[in-house]
């Protein structure tokens, strides 16, 4: 028996379901669980921004990764109370909680609340006239649609909050409190002073409930626009990487004929304080303004004046400069003090019917993305594990399928800022009992080459599967993140395409 409590819409109401939810299976059980988290009065009202695609829809399309439940239900993401942006300046809080704007505060979708300059795929906006298109999977009457955009100089590495967005929408469409007409698009113009990386917030306010749907859209605005004074936006300085003393940053200017040395500007990082992202972005923008007459860097105010800020800065050029775009290049020196090595690693591990679980540690004095891979004598990978190493010691556990013999463990680690990659390789002898089944790929690696006789190891089940002969072999390639029916050992119809070895 499962007991579910509804959120604050109906605080205290309890629903008891006397069925085993697992019988629904896969995405269906996820959809059922999600429905129980939504307000009872609006459990069937759903929808999402189809174009430009919302963050959650990009998850379903596979362009965004590690999205939690959002990849299965983009139509349910961001539903909470209406009233945004009430809560500013001491007013009563309405709408989503700061830091939970993308998810609407639902734990099932909390992964989409993660926010950094590089976390999400960005849709390029090449035309400032945008035709917003909503897909309504269960339409309800619409009070209004509103579209907000992040402020100039917003910090892309902090959770989205009301302060991240302009206080008023740049576009609003009256819904008349009637059902939306399928295919209707909202034609809106993105403000001329908005360029580079921004987040759009589309809000569908429902007419017959207390709810609204909040959809965030990650964009890179590259639409050309001539601003007052003859200035055009030609790029931006995104402050996203921590730098060290001795590093350099260069704003590389490009004309139609190639790179322009006379309009390119470089700075050096002299100390740790200057290496803070918002600080070096300010220093670079300030130097551009001091050394260039036809180029300006910073944020434009309502009077058209441009001044550098500690954060993201836009780059503007006069037509006479010939500059059409800028690229920011980081010249980061090797971190000579970075260390990494395998530790508590035995020289011998014992196989049981071709399988073993290797437990060992690694040491690092920097935060690193690490991958450990065990290779057999033929240099074939027979086990691997990835993790983020934080602190001096990190425990690793690796599942191995192999045969007795000499192996090598290779550990590769890259510091999270990308400046330094280290490697440690140690020999290890696998003893004991063989019996592991050989395979060609670890699913879904090499998916497009699967054919009759192809053997794959599925990491979720730990089993090896062989693609059936023609014509069933054609199903072995029928897999996408949203179509998993023939996934070996996991999909509902996997036995149509595969034999388990």
Tell me, what's the pLDDT at 364? 94
pLDDT score of 35 more than 50? no
Number of neighbouring beta carbons within 10 Å of residue 59: 28
For 140-181, the pLDDT digits (tens) are: 889 999 999 999 889 898 999 999 999 899 999 998 898 888
CB 239 within 8 A of CB 303: no
SS (H, E, C) 134-177: EEEEECCCEEEEEEEEECCCCCCCCCCCHHHECCCCCEEEEEEE
Determine the Cα–Cα distance for residues 79 and 100; give it in Å rounded to an integer: 11
| Class of residue 183 by CB neighbours under 10 A (exposed 0-12, middle 13-18, buried 19+) | exposed
Q: What pLDDT is stored for residue 224 in this prediction?
A: 64
Nearest by Cα to 428 from 475, 373, 390: 373
What is the model's pLDDT at position 93?
64
Q: How does pLDDT run across 88-137, given as a tens digit for each residue?
A: 455 566 788 899 999 998 888 999 999 998 899 999 888 889 999 999 88
Question: Positive or negative CA dihedral for 349, 352, 358, 359?
Answer: negative
Report the mean per-residue pLDDT for the chain: 85
Residue 229, pLDDT score: 74
State pLDDT tens for residues 194-233. 888 899 999 999 888 888 899 999 998 877 666 667 788 8
Residue 28: its pLDDT value, please?
35
Kindly list the distances between the CA atom of residue 10 and the CA atoms of 14, 29, 77, 79, in Å, as whole numbers in the listed order: 9, 22, 19, 14
Q: What is the pLDDT of residues 238-297, one digit of tens each?
A: 888 889 999 999 999 999 999 999 999 999 999 999 999 999 999 999 999 999 999 999
Owner of token pair 């909202």? 186
Q: Rounded to whole angstroms, what are the CA distances from 334 to 267, 279, 383, 454?
A: 18, 21, 30, 43
What is the tens place of the pLDDT at every residue in 44-63? 458 899 999 999 999 999 99
**pTM of the predicted model as reported, rounded to 2 decimal places:** 0.48
- Rounded to whole angstroms, the Cα distance separating 93 from 71 reads 29
The 3-state secondary structure of 430-497, one letter per residue: EEECCCCCCCCEECCCCHHHCCCCCEEEECCCCEEEEECCCCHHHHHHCCECCECCCCCCCCCCHHHH
Res 87: pLDDT: 53
**pLDDT of 464-478, one tens digit each?**
899 999 989 999 998
Q: Is the pLDDT of residue 312 over 80?
A: yes
3-state secondary structure labels for all residues of 265-288: EEEECCCCCCCCHHHHHHHHHHHH
Beta-carbon-side half-sphere exposure of residue 413 (alpha carbons within 13 Å): 24
Cα angle value 75/78/82 (rounded, 5°):
115
The confidence score (pLDDT) of residue 45 equals 58
Question: Is residue 176 left, alpha or beta, with left meaning phi > 0 and alpha meaning psi from -120 to 50?
Answer: left
What is the 8-class DSSP label of residue 32? H
Residue 83 banded pLDDT, cuts 50, 70, 90: confident
SS3 of residue 393 by DSSP: strand
pLDDT at 226: 62
pLDDT above 70 for 33: no
Q: What's the confidence (pLDDT) of residue 162?
A: 92
Q: How far apart are CA 292 and CA 315, in angstroms?
A: 12
The proportion of the chain whose per-residue pLDDT surpasses 90, expressed as a percent, equals 55
CA distances from 54 to 181, 201, 471 (A): 20, 9, 39
Residue 138 confidence (pLDDT) above 90: no
Q: What percentage of the chain has pLDDT greater than the value 70?
A: 88
Q: What single-letter DSSP state applies at residue 182?
A: T
């Amino acid at each position: 028996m499962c007991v579910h409590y509804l959120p604050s819409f109906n605080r205290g109401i309890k629903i008891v379901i006397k069925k085993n939810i697992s019988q629904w299976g896969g995405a269906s059980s996820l959809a059922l669980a999600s429905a129980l988290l939504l307000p009872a009065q609006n459990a069937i009202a759903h929808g999402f921004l189809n174009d430009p695609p919302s963050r959650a829809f990009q998850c379903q399309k596979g362009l965004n990764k590690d999205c939690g439940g959002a990849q299965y239900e983009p139509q349910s993401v961001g539903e909470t109370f209406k009233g945004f942006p009430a809560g500013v300046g001491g007013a009563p809080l309405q709408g989503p909680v700061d830091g939970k704007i993308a998810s609407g505060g639902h734990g099932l979708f909390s992964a989409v609340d993660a926010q950094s300059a590089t976390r999400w795929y960005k849709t390029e906006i090449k035309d400032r006239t945008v035709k917003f298109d909503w897909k309504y999977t269960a339409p309800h009457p619409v009070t209004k649609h509103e579209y907000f955009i992040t402020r100039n100089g917003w910090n892309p590495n902090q959770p989205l909050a009301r302060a991240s967005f302009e206080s008023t929408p740049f576009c609003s469409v009256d819904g008349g409190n009637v059902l939306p007409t399928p295919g209707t698009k909202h034609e809106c113009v993105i403000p001329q002073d908005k360029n580079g990386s921004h987040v759009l917030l589309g809000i569908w306010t429902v007419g017959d409930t207390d709810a609204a749907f909040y959809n965030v859209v990650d964009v890179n605005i590259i639409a050309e626009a001539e601003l007052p004074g003859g200035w055009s936006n030609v790029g931006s300085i995104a402050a996203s990487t921590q730098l060290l003393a001795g590093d350099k940053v260069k704003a590389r200017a490009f004309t139609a004929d190639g790179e322009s040395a006379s309009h390119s500007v470089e700075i050096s990082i002299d100390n740790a304080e200057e290496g803070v992202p918002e600080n070096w972005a300010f220093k670079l923008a300030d130097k551009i303004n001091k050394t260039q007459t036809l180029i300006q860097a910073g944020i434009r105010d309502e009077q058209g004046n441009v001044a550098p800020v500690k954060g993201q800065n836009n780059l503007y050029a006069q037509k006479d400069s010939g500059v059409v775009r800028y690229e920011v290049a980081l010249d980061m020196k090797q971190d000579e003090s970075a260390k990494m090595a395998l530790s508590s690693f035995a020289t011998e591990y014992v196989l049981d019917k071709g399988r073993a679980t290797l437990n060992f540690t690694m040491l690092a004095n920097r935060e690193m993305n690490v991958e450990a891979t065990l290779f057999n004598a033929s240099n074939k990978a027979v086990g691997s594990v990835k993790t983020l190493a934080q602190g001096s010691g990190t425990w690793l556990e690796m599942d191995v399928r192999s045969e007795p013999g000499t192996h090598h463990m290779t550990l590769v680690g890259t510091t999270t800022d990308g400046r330094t990659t280290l490697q440690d390789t140690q020999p290890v002898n696998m003893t004991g009992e063989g019996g592991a089944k050989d395979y060609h790929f670890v699913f879904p690696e090499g998916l497009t080459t699967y054919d009759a006789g192809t053997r794959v190891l599925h990491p979720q089940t730990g089993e090896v599967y062989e693609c059936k002969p023609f014509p069933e072999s054609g199903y072995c390639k029928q897999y996408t993140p949203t179509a998993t029916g023939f996934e070996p050992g996991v999909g509902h119809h996997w036995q149509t395409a595969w034999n388990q070895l």
